């Protein structure tokens, strides 16, 4: 499935109170490889941005006056997004604005055109509970270079989000692997199902078991008896 990283900039924070989309940036990824087939639109919102919003994105009202309206680019945008998984950081915000723009021109919500909407902010909160999970914070944590992000920009933020997402999902979550080489047409290499292989089970010997117990005891002592496995053992014995 195609994955599209999407970001918007807006005139303010409330689509329901009349704020509009002024910029849309989209970055395409297929099989975990960025394709370069991206989309970027500046839009005339037919209203001025709030002062606080201008400080965030730096896109002046004058700059947007000769840009197309959302209705002029909607077909190109929806064709591009069709049947893809859309990945957005804080998805309810951007989806809410896109749905309002679609509603204003009598079109169906964005979820009627895409296969799935994934909120990368929720993913990050699950992986890093209790920590800051803004795009900037994730870039710092995952070693993604965001030095060029002095202001918010939809296409730049979508590109950064793609890099962040790749790092967030780098762990293996399937028993499939790519084999060396590719097809003559340059497509991705075929996948090998590792479930067809019988993997040897290596048991620890007596010395390794004893060394492991010594290490657990040392950790338990250092934590003053607060290790989880001791509590689980106690619960098991009293059950």
* Whole-angstrom distance, CA of residue 42 vs CA of residue 59: 9
Tell how strand 33-34 and strand 21-30 pair up: antiparallel
Cβ atoms of 48 and 61 within 8 Å: the answer is yes
Residue intervals in the chain for CATH 3.30.420.10:
3-173
Active site residues: 152
The domain covering 3-173 belongs, at the CATH homologous superfamily level, to Ribonuclease H-like superfamily/Ribonuclease H (3.30.420.10)
pLDDT tens digits, one per residue of 182-206: 444 445 556 666 666 676 778 888 8
Number of neighbours of residue 43 by Cβ within 10 angstroms: 23
User: How does DSSP classify residue 32?
Assistant: T
CA nearest neighbour of 121 among 168, 73, 71, 175? 168
**For residue range 15-57, what is the model confidence (pLDDT) as tens digits?**
999 999 999 999 999 999 999 999 999 999 999 999 999 999 9
Entry pTM: 0.71
């Amino acid at each position: 499935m195609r994955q599209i990283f999407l970001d918007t900039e807006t005139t303010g924070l409330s689509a329901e109170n009349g704020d509009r989309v002024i910029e849309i940036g989209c970055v395409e990824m297929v099989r975990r490889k960025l394709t370069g087939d991206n989309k970027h639109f500046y839009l005339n919102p037919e209203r001025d941005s709030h002062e606080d919003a201008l400080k965030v994105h730096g896109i002046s009202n004058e700059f947007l006056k000769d840009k197309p309206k959302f209705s002029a680019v909607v077909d190109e945008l929806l064709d591009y997004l069709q049947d893809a998984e859309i990945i957005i950081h804080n998805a309810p915000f951007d989806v809410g604005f896109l749905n309002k723009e679609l509603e204003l021109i009598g079109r169906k919500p964005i979820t009627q055109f895409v296969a799935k909407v994934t909120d990368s902010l929720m993913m990050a909160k699950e992986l890093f509970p209790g920590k800051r999970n803004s795009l900037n914070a994730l870039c710092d944590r995952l070693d993604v270079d965001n030095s060029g992000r002095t202001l918010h920009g939809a296409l730049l933020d979508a590109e950064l989000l793609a890099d962040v997402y790749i790092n967030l999902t780098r762990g293996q979550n399937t028993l499939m692997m790519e084999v060396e080489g590719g097809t003559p047409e340059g497509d991705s290499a075929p996948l090998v199902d590792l479930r067809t292989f019988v993997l040897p089970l290596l048991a620890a010997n007596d010395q390794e078991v004893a060394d492991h117990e010594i290490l657990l005891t040392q950790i338990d002592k250092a934590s003053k008896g607060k290790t989880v496995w001791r509590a689980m053992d106690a619960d098991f014995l009293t059950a």
